[in-house]
Structure 1
Amino acid sequence: MDKRLHSPNAIKEIMEKYGFKFSKSLGQNFLIDGNIIEKICDKSEITKEDGIIEVGPGIGALTQQLCEKAGKVVSVELDKTLIPILKDTLKDYDNFELVHGDILKVNINEIIEDRLKGLNVKVVANLPYYITTPIIMRLLEERLAIEKIVVMVQKEVAVRMKASPGNKDYGALSVAVQYYSKPEIIVNVPKNVFIPKPNVDSAVIMLDVYDKPQVNVKDEKTMFEIVRAAFGKRRKTILNALSSSSLRLEKDEINEILNKCNIDPKKRGEVLSIEDFANIANNIYSK
């Protein structure tokens, strides 16, 4: 077998050996471009001091290079048909550990504290696109001891995460991701470097996770209620959006708060910065 697990020949051989078939429901698309795998690893700046959490390793193409560069790699795989394949393809790496489970349900903190103890933790993965946002938000919201997240996602999702106020792609996801981290798109990935070929192009995005958010927020729940309301109906002004939200404040109260924050009540949510949302939230919380 070709030792390069990203090669089409290796993938074909493994599929035939194990009778493996791609699962559409699990969003399985295997990367076959070694240059992109190398770029992911390089941009992740992986050393032997790092412990890597990988989500959805597939047959181990990215995992293989992660194991060669990192102190330890823990891969979480949901598809039970891939478990024996991974145990075979990565059997030569004693710094590899496989967890059979759902990344949205496994105890990530336990993985960090017990299996990656003493290492700098990074998440590096080619994420299943159908649950990209829930995975990323769980990694960020739980304030885990993770310093960097480098993941392949659908290109339009990466663009939304990176978007700035006033941009058509700017929305609730942009605010949430940028509240917890600094995003950077590091490489665009065309659909033709996957087997099977997906319907969309991809991008690798790097999130440098903040030790603490860059804005001071007294109550995060209040802020994200405001964010959801602001982007829930994009054509509404911020005044009308917040007036019809779960905040249960009268229109004149909201108008007063917006004026206090030097925010035009006629503006729409998509032009407000994270600092604006934090300012509104702090004034509402202090009432």
Structure 2
Amino acid sequence: MLGPAEVRRLAEELGIRPTKKLGQNFVHDPNTVRKIVTAAGLTEDDVVLEVGPGLGSLTLALLPSAKRLVAVEIDPPLADRLPQTVSEMDPENAAKLHVVLKDAMKVTHEDLPVQPTAIVANLPYNVAVPVVLHLLHELPSLKKGLVMVQAEVADRMAAEPGSKIYGVPSVKIAWYGKAKKAGPVGRNVFWPAPNVDSGLVSFHRHENPLSTVDRKRLFGIVDAAFAQRRKTLRAALKGWAATQDVNIDELLEKAGIDPQARGEQLSVIDFIRIAEV
């Protein structure tokens, strides 16, 4: 495990100062990484995908519980140093690790040596939701996950219809599976300490797809419905419907959706019905 002293020593050795651009906040609390691994519910058959392993705090905690671990790191010095750190601190499990030097937003299944079954990661706050959505789309092998994100983002990812914080991330995540909050994380477990609180979100992919409807069409409808939250669906989707050359009132009637409803009142199934029509 990497404690505060080890984290700072490694960072000094590499000449690294955490940057906001890459969303780097390194976890240096062993109890927190143990908590994350426990909450992830991994089995000995799980191949874990870790995004942004940084100096390796979470990586070292995950390796004993995983069959293999693929770490995707965008920062070359960190990617180069991680295998050495693991070999020094946990030689018994070092062979399980494979590091991929790449932006997680550009990763495809072809970039990975083995297809992961679970994602466990401390995600950069500024790209957390896009990264999760991208990986769920690109890697159908991902069946579950546990990610640490900004507390506000955790709330949105797991929000249910009718909530004030229910929105685009809630619906798009629900298209792939069921998300729920898995606990808070304090600020002092990071170096440097962020200015916001963090939270854990767990995820399980649906065993069967909710629909065969085109994902891009569905997500386009979702984006339009929440672009102006105060508008009714009739008003919010009018512009989108015009680009599809359809009458919005007829569309909503066929889908069985109240045109006076607002986006935050609709479940992912409701949005699917609109897309299918």
- Does TM, scored on the shorter chain, surpass 0.5? yes
| Aligned residue runs from structure 1 range 150-165, under 5 A | 150-165=146-161
C-alpha separation between the residues in 1 aligned to 2:181 and 2:263? 24
C-alpha separation between the residues in 2 aligned to 1:229 and 1:191? 35
C-alpha separation between the residues in 1 aligned to 2:123 and 2:8? 22
8 Å Cα contact 1:188/1:202 also seen in 2: yes
Does 2:276 align with 1:282?
yes
8 Å Cα contact 1:225/1:246 also seen in 2: no
Does 2:221 align with 1:220?
no
C-alpha separation between the residues in 1 aligned to 2:79 and 2:70? 13
Does 2:231 align with 1:230?
no
Does 2:241 align with 1:243?
no
Decide whether aligned partners of structure 1 residues 77 and 165 sit closer, same or farther in structure 2, where only a CA change above 3 A counts: same
Partner SS, residue 140 of structure 2 = coil
8 Å Cα contact 1:258/1:280 also seen in 2: yes
Partner SS, residue 131 of structure 1 = helix
Match of 1:98 in 2: 99
C-alpha separation between the residues in 2 aligned to 1:73 and 1:105? 19
Deviation at 1:83, TM superposition (A): 2.9
Percent same amino acid among aligned pairs? 40
Considering only CA atoms, is the larger Rg found in Structure 1 or Structure 2?
Answer: 1
C-alpha separation between the residues in 2 aligned to 1:213 and 1:264? 25
8 Å Cα contact 1:161/1:183 also seen in 2: yes
C-alpha separation between the residues in 2 aligned to 1:65 and 1:219? 39
Partner SS, residue 175 of structure 1 = helix
Decide whether aligned partners of structure 1 residues 72 and 143 sit closer, same or farther in structure 2, where only a CA change above 3 A counts: closer
TM-score (norm 2): 0.91
2:264 to 264, 270, 276: 270
Decide whether aligned partners of structure 1 residues 109 and 206 sit closer, same or farther in structure 2, where only a CA change above 3 A counts: farther
CA RMSD of the aligned region, Å? Answer: 2.0
Which whole-Å deviations, capped at 9, do the CAs of 1:212-235 have from their partners, x for residues lacking one? 333x35333332222111111111
Report the AA paired with residue 248 of structure 2: I
TM-score (norm 1): 0.88
Decide whether aligned partners of structure 1 residues 249 and 27 sit closer, same or farther in structure 2, where only a CA change above 3 A counts: closer
Which whole-Å deviations, capped at 9, do the CAs of 1:88-142 have from their partners, x for residues lacking one? 211121211112221122333441xxx236xx62111111112112211111223
| Aligned residue runs from structure 1 range 63-102, under 5 A | 63-91=59-87, 92=91, 93-102=94-103
1:255 to 229, 249, 253: 249
| Aligned residue runs from structure 1 range 100-179, under 5 A | 100-111=101-112, 115-116=113-114, 121-179=117-175
Which whole-Å deviations, capped at 9, do the CAs of 1:153-177 have from their partners, x for residues lacking one? 1111111111111111111111100
Does 2:4 align with 1:8?
yes
Q: Which moved more, 1:184-193 or 1:241-250?
A: 241-250
C-alpha separation between the residues in 2 aligned to 1:47 and 1:249? 46
> Larger % of helix: which?
2
Decide whether aligned partners of structure 1 residues 47 and 274 sit closer, same or farther in structure 2, where only a CA change above 3 A counts: closer
C-alpha separation between the residues in 1 aligned to 2:244 and 2:73? 45
